[in-house]
Amino acid sequence: MEEDIDTRKINNSFLRDHSYATEADIISTVEFNHTGELLATGDKGGRVVIFQREQESKNQVHRRGEYNVYSTFQSHEPEFDYLKSLEIEEKINKIRWLPQQNAAYFLLSTNDKTVKLWKVSERDKRPEGYNLKDEEGRLRDPATITTLRVPVLRPMDLMVEATPRRVFANAHTYHINSISVNSDYETYMSADDLRINLWNFEITNQSFNIVDIKPANMEELTEVITAAEFHPHHCNTFVYSSSKGTIRLCDMRASALCDRHTKFFEEPEDPSNRSFFSEIISSISDVKFSHSGRYIMTRDYLTVKVWDLNMENRPIETYQCHHDGLLQQLLQDV
């Protein structure tokens, strides 16, 4: 017991020592799978690390909430856009899991420009006894083969493999900020600052633009898209949030290009509380549907708000994420 405590202290002191960590090790996104058994993290170095929840045992009940490393792989590499003379960093912006259909896991990961579909699978057996290959995989001379063998599977140490299955690129002019898997499990969408594209998992070379808020004159631009999410049950419905703190609900059955929203959620601003930081702190950083699809959760700089789809004028709940004096402190620093 004392050794376990000492080990935890050593690990904690190791993590606190910033000299061992680099900027590439900073986590940029996290995402649980649908069962909560796996937790995927993406970092600024383009790596995806998957953690698996420790199975509960009678002897170690306290370890139930612990997650251990399950798999690590390099998802994205730094690139350079020669046409725009722009460096594309490898940082992972978002990760989204697909519902599990078989023994393997599938997830989407994206940096600023490219979305990739990954398959994560386990392998604990290896084939042996090939006729045309030796045990090291080299081809054998057919003249030396005198008998035929039946290949068999031999047990081996568990190995977790991550393989890229699809690469969706060259569809976004601006930086991708969110991806969302549709409830039909055939399509997903990716959103950048001004556009939202709809993809089919089987088609990598083209996507369909469903939202475009880019004005003809960029000087007239007043807001950008900050996040987008599909409805968990209705494949035709999705929401996207903006830097102005508004949420738009769109229905793809209404028109091919969803330039007109079905519902518009915005909380009226109290003029007495308006300040220099009002527009900054009202910008929504993420939006999520509840599991039932009845409610929307949004996160801005200071609060988490819960919206009812049937009430557009104000949220039904508001939770403060920072103490009340933070805004006053910011104003004093200006």
Q: Which amino acid is at 147?
A: T
Give the range among 90-99, 244-253, 266-275, 286-295 with minimum mean pLDDT: 266-275
- Taking the chain, what is the end-to-end CA distance rounded to the nearest angstrom? 52
CATH code (residue 323): 2.130.10.10
Q: pLDDT-based confidence at 11, cuts 50/70/90?
A: very low
- The three-class DSSP label of residue 9 is helix
Domain assignment present for residue 20? The answer is: no
Mean pLDDT computed over every residue of the chain: 86
Domain assignment present for residue 84? The answer is: no
- CA gyration radius for the chain? 25
Domain assignment present for residue 92? The answer is: no
**212 vs 14, which has greater pLDDT?**
212
Domain assignment present for residue 33? The answer is: no
281-291 pLDDT, tens digit per residue, is 889 999 999 99
Closest CA to 87 of 97, 95, 102, 76: 76
Q: pLDDT-based confidence at 265, cuts 50/70/90?
A: very high
Q: Tell me the C-alpha distance between 302 and 325, whole Å.
A: 11
Number of structural domains in the chain: 1
Domain assignment present for residue 114? The answer is: no
List, as own/partner pairs, every contact residues 253-262 make where C-beta atoms lie below 8 angstroms and the sequence separation is at least 24, other chains included: 256/208, 256/210, 257/209, 257/210, 257/211, 257/212, 258/210, 258/211, 259/211, 259/212, 259/213, 262/237
Report DSSP state, residue 151. -
Domain assignment present for residue 279? The answer is: yes
Domain assignment present for residue 260? The answer is: yes
CA atoms within 13 A on the CB side of 66: 11
Domain of 218? 171-333
Going across the sheet that includes 115-128, the strands are: 94-97, 105-110, 115-128, 152-168
